Chain A
Amino acid sequence: MDQLRRIWPFIRRYRWRMTFGLICAMAATAAAATIPQILRYAVDDLNTRGIVLDQLLGYGGLLLLAATIEGVLRYGQRTQMIGASHLIDFDMREALFARLLTLDQGFFNKMHTGDLMTRVTNDLSAVRMFLGPGVSNLAGSTLLIVTAATLMFLTSPLLALVVVLLLPMVAVLFVVIGGRMRAIFRTVQDQFGEISTRAQENFSGIRTIKAYAQEEAEIGVFREANERYRALNLRYVLLSGMLWPIIGLMLGTIGAFVLLIGGRMVATGELTVGELVLFNAYLAQLGWPVIALGWTVDLYQQGSASLLRISEVLQRRPAIATPPGAPADFIVEGEIEFRDVGLRFVYEESKEGRREALAHQHANHTLEEHVPHPGAPEWVLRNISFRVPRGSSLAIVGATGVGKTTLVNLLARVRDPDEGQVLVDGYDVRTLPLDALRRGIGYVPQDTFLFSVPVRENVTFGRPDATEEQIEYALTVSRLSNDVGQFPDGVDTLIGERGVTLSGGQKQRTAIARAVLRDPAILVLDDALSSVDTHTAAEILAGLRELMKGRTSIIIAQRIATVKDADQIIVLHDGAIVECGTHRELLEYGGRYADMYRRELLQAELEEE
């Protein structure tokens, strides 16, 4: 019932459609059930030789008529009932996607992308399979079985009893063997997973394998895993290979009993040959519906498990949303204040830190599970307070993984602080309407994410109504104009696998153009120039400075050259602000910042050699 409550809102819309399908199914059943009856009279007439050619033609015509009517009605049943399931599928997919779009990062960090994908695709189609073929079979089969059984009882109760008692065995066999098959199949799948894990581990660690000349031994291990898989699979095949033959045997046996008992009855005159043929014809008609009933049990089990997983997403409420009573017409002006902000370490957050760390290492690295070792600090950042007046700029520097990204993420409420407050224009961001808050912020994230759509669409992502001049300007500021000019279709070139592959720097510059085009009150650059060469970075910064006059900006960077002109610079270390001031002040202070600067100069010198 729980299932029904979950799915009813989606079915409701199509209840008349489904009802119409059901009516078609009923009428089709009636038409189908007449065919054996026609056959019976024809055969009996033939047998007694009391028939003329015209009558024979009449029987043939009746058969064709019944079959035509049944065919048309089955078409109606299928298109209405199964068609409805596709429409429900469509509605649910839309609802799922809409829900996903509102959910917060906390949710996405916990769920694997693959898992979410599965829910929107495989789980959804499992639900659809039950609603469509499942329900349609259930209705069609039940109707036909009941009708045929009734008609058979009217003809010969004894023979009908034989059929009605034996026939359910087919469905039972299907469910039992099918269930057993699924159980074994799971172990087969596990072993298969073992094989691909083995291969995956081997290919990822191929350097080590080769360094210690372990190739032959690895092949041996792989072969063994394969042999185990084969052995398990044979157990599965032993069962699956039996399924259809045994169902054939079962149906055949019923036919044999009908022949034996029915034949004797005909011989003793209790039954006519036509009636025997009628039983045979009903048997032939009932074979598939009975199997389908068994299949429906299967579909129901899978469908309800999947429905549960879908409901988990649909019923999930976003942790970050516009609060009730937020001002409707809020426009960000650009003053920022962090007041005693504290952020607890959460497992999910570590993924970000790792990615950051990995970006600086080699490319063929694999992301692995992060296990927070015991004794890791509970707080990532604590007691963070600063104020960025409207129109000024703030730079944040600090080592990889210190929490810079997490900190600026609080501004657009990607996450909420565990302690303290983040204020924009004097209001706690948690009291503001989410869309207005985000509309006021131009964000260039550290992980540049571009969509596989044309450059233009990526750039106008936050401003779909931008004019040609505005786009041109954004491209100029982000120093992307030249690159775009060299693309095959200019600004309309597709990005990604099917179009041009952008370099890291080009990606970052596209992301900057995207943020700039929003004309935001607050611009956030999170390590957004790391892949851009020094010279271009300087040009972009100069352009931005012009553009950001009177606007607020926050810049996170690894390079001092990028941050040195900021009105305020803060240095994060060990969860706290350790230095704060202008470039000049911090150099005079001679702390971490000064060290970083010195090393950067040395590096530049080395590069020049």
Chain B
Amino acid sequence: MSSAKYDDDEILGKAYDATLVRRLGGFVIPYWRQLAVATLLMFGGAAVELAPPFLVKQAIDGPIAARDPAGILPIFGLYAAALLAAFGFRYGQTYIMQSVGQQVMVDIRTRIFSHIQRMSLAFFDRNPVGRLITRLTNDVDALNEFITQGTVALLGDLVRLLFVIVTMLLLNWRLALISFIMFPVVMLATGVFQRIMRAVYRRVRQRIARINAFLNEQISGVLVTQLFNREERSRIRFAELSRDYLAAQLESNRTFAIFFPLINFLSVTAMALLLYFGGQIVLADLATLGMMVAFIQYTDQAFQPIRQIAERYNTLQSAMASSERVFRVLDTPAAVVDPEHPRALPLPVRGEITFDNVWFTYSPEATGERPEDSGSLASEHEAHVSAEDDWVLRGISFTIPAGQAVAVVGATGAGKSSLVSLMARFYDIQHGSITLDGIDLRELRQTELRRHVSAVPQDPVCFSGTIASNIRLHDTSISDEQVRRAAEIARAAPFIERLPGGYDYEVRERGSNLSVGQRQLLAFARAIAFNPEVLLILDEATSSVDTETEALIQEALERLIHGRTSIVIAHRLSTIRHVDRILVLHKGRLVEDGSHEELLAKRGYYYRLYQLQFAEQVKSER
């Protein structure tokens, strides 16, 4: 994972893709009024920018030639007005375009985020968080560039160029034609330069990416390098990479060192041409001296848009690549979807759960075959990967009557977590059915289902915000009083009240200022506050919990499962002793089912599992 992060040099494709642009257009259309205003301002700006050289001509040929100092003042006034107007137009256009860009970014970002929110957990298993964040940030930024640089600005360059050309032709076609001689040369020079620079830049980027990847790896693995006395070789390798980068940098520098003086030279050449040929025209009285001075300025004015048009090409190219990635996310269909005509649960919800011959795998497209990206999973299964290992659950059937507390036990990889995830419909099953109060989960709306079936995850998650907001989340219908009561029932209240600010204590990102045990209690309080009919708990015996908190957690857990349908993945002896019934899973099958005592008496699989997982706790209790 180290290298890809830095070596992700964009594979640049087309600078213009009609389909993508049309789809992007969909995001921009709502702001067509602003765009229209910006375009108008752009036209205005391009027009008034033509005034100053013309006014200089007027001054030279008029009052100056006529030796009339007073006559210059009105021209100065116009000149100043034109400058102010140009400032206003340009500022206005930039501001409007940027604000539209910002608004569109908000829209696109929210759209991507909303879309991702609706994806099933399988999507999150597949896509690392970092990649999703990149879509939301870097790629959206590239689209902003497209809107602010690629649309009106590009049009603006064309219009400015056109205006200058037309004005020159109108003022004096002879001088105009002389000026135009240099335009194709500038265009050609810029085009060639852009082409070279694109290649050079790519080399620079690739080589710095290589340095970064190497550096990242070397810093992460510095201990290995040191222990194996490899410092010298690493240094040599780094110097090689660094030298490659240097070469690319020097090449880029050389290219610039040629291009900038070249453009300057071309501009002076245009001046020299005007002086020589234009001078003759002036001498022949076909143009005034002021006109020639004005033309020197117009020629310079035309150079700028010519150069910028070439530069915008790069922006377009990377925007296309980004939009393709963004649309790929937006086009991913949700795997777990609400039915078109959802059924409602009969009220009151009782909480009876039935599994009927449930088969489940995480790679549904290839049942019986290895998952597509099994490479990453290989470490966990290395010793025993066989074709049929893909089924996580194999024909599980059972019924949990309303109000019963059930523990699920089994060795690692037996399918416990999957079983519980399925009850909250985090994934869809491949065969069989799961019903709540007799209704198939797939016939319910997910929000409705999850209002009645809550899962307390294995890794207690906290969000930045207050303690209270961590308990009620965004559900404003849960009052402060209910929050407090939930915390008391979950035995979280004592620690919360000791915190500065109590329920208003600011929890930091991912709950880093709370201990694992405290986070666990908080997660329990959350479950109680939402008061679901069916509760699923992935209990984790955490080693980093002190004995006092451990006792609290046990107590809270007992209170939590009391009086409602609850399914607990048990790691604690106290839990399995307090439930009504135990389901024993082994390699995706339900092997034993009964109460703790019954199962122990049977001296079967559970008996031995008990010896292994819980006997130590029995001993420590003694």
User: What is the CA–CA distance of A253 and B611 in the complex, to the nearest angstrom?
Assistant: 90
Report B91-118 residues with CB < 8 Å from chain A CB.
91, 94-95, 98-99, 102-103, 105-106, 109-110, 113-114, 116-118
CB<8 Å pairs between A and B, sample of 20: A61-B272, A78-B253, A82-B253, A100-B219, A101-B225, A103-B222, A105-B223, A121-B208, A217-B473, A234-B98, A245-B91, A255-B52, A263-B69, A267-B63, A273-B60, A276-B60, A280-B56, A284-B297, A368-B512, A373-B546
B75 touches A237 (CB 8 A): no
B257 touches A94 (CB 8 A): no
B117 touches A218 (CB 8 A): yes
A518 touches B228 (CB 8 A): yes
User: What is the CA–CA distance of A437 and B261 in the complex, to the nearest angstrom?
Assistant: 58
User: What is the CA–CA distance of A165 and B612 in the complex, to the nearest angstrom?
Assistant: 88
State how many angstroms separate the Cβ of A348 from the closest Cβ of chain B. 13
- Identify whether the interface residues of A are mostly helix, strand, loop, or mixed: helix
User: What is the CA–CA distance of A39 and B273 in the complex, to the nearest angstrom?
Assistant: 12
Is B43 interfacial (CB-CB < 8 Å)? Answer: no
Report B234-270 residues with CB < 8 Å from chain A CB.
234-235, 238-239, 242-243, 245-246, 249-250, 253-254, 256-258, 260-262, 264-265, 268-269
Contact of B109 among A226, A244, A414 (CB under 8 A): A226
A90 touches B106 (CB 8 A): no
User: What is the CA–CA distance of A67 and B1 in the complex, to the nearest angstrom?
Assistant: 52
B4 touches A497 (CB 8 A): yes
0 or 1 for each of B107-144: is its CB under 8 Å from A? (1 = yes)? 00110011011100100110001001100110000000
User: By CB atoms of chain B within 10 A, which of A83, A89, A264 has the most?
Assistant: A264
Report A173-213 residues with CB < 8 Å from chain B CB.
192, 195-197, 199-213
Which residues on B sit within 8 Å (CB–CB) of A464?
233
User: What is the CA–CA distance of A120 and B238 in the complex, to the nearest angstrom?
Assistant: 12
Which residues on B sit within 8 Å (CB–CB) of A605?
608
B382 touches A197 (CB 8 A): no
User: What is the CA–CA distance of A232 and B103 in the complex, to the nearest angstrom?
Assistant: 12
- Number of residues on chain A facing chain B (CB within 8 A): 159
Query: Which residue of B is nearest A461, CB measured?
Result: B228
Contact of B257 among A79, A212, A217, A371 (CB under 8 A): A79
Report B210-233 residues with CB < 8 Å from chain A CB.
211-213, 215-231, 233
Query: Which residue of A is nearest B129, CB measured?
Result: A203
Given A101-B225, A208-B461, A414-B227, is A46 in contact with B98 using a C-beta cutoff of 8 Å?
Answer: no
Report A106-149 residues with CB < 8 Å from chain B CB.
108, 113, 116-117, 120-121
B228 touches A531 (CB 8 A): no
Which residues on B sit within 8 Å (CB–CB) of A223?
106, 110
User: What is the CA–CA distance of A449 and B225 in the complex, to the nearest angstrom?
Assistant: 10
Report B175-222 residues with CB < 8 Å from chain A CB.
208, 211-213, 215-222
Given A71-B262, A213-B450, A222-B113, is A501 in contact with B376 using a C-beta cutoff of 8 Å?
Answer: yes
Is A98 interfacial (CB-CB < 8 Å)? Answer: yes
Is A286 interfacial (CB-CB < 8 Å)? Answer: no
B80 touches A256 (CB 8 A): yes
Given A46-B289, A67-B265, is A260 in contact with B90 using a C-beta cutoff of 8 Å?
Answer: no
Contact of A211 among B216, B276, B457, B616 (CB under 8 A): B457
Contact of B102 among A217, A233, A438, A603 (CB under 8 A): A233
B4 touches A245 (CB 8 A): no
Is A238 interfacial (CB-CB < 8 Å)? Answer: yes
B86 touches A203 (CB 8 A): no
User: What is the CA–CA distance of A605 and B384 in the complex, to the nearest angstrom?
Assistant: 16
B235 touches A90 (CB 8 A): no
State how many angstroms separate the Cβ of B475 from the closest Cβ of chain A. 8
Query: Which residue of B is nearest A360, CB measured?
Result: B412
Is A5 interfacial (CB-CB < 8 Å)? Answer: no
Is B451 interfacial (CB-CB < 8 Å)? Answer: yes
Listed stretches A326-334, A389-397, A439-447, A562-570; interface member? A439-447
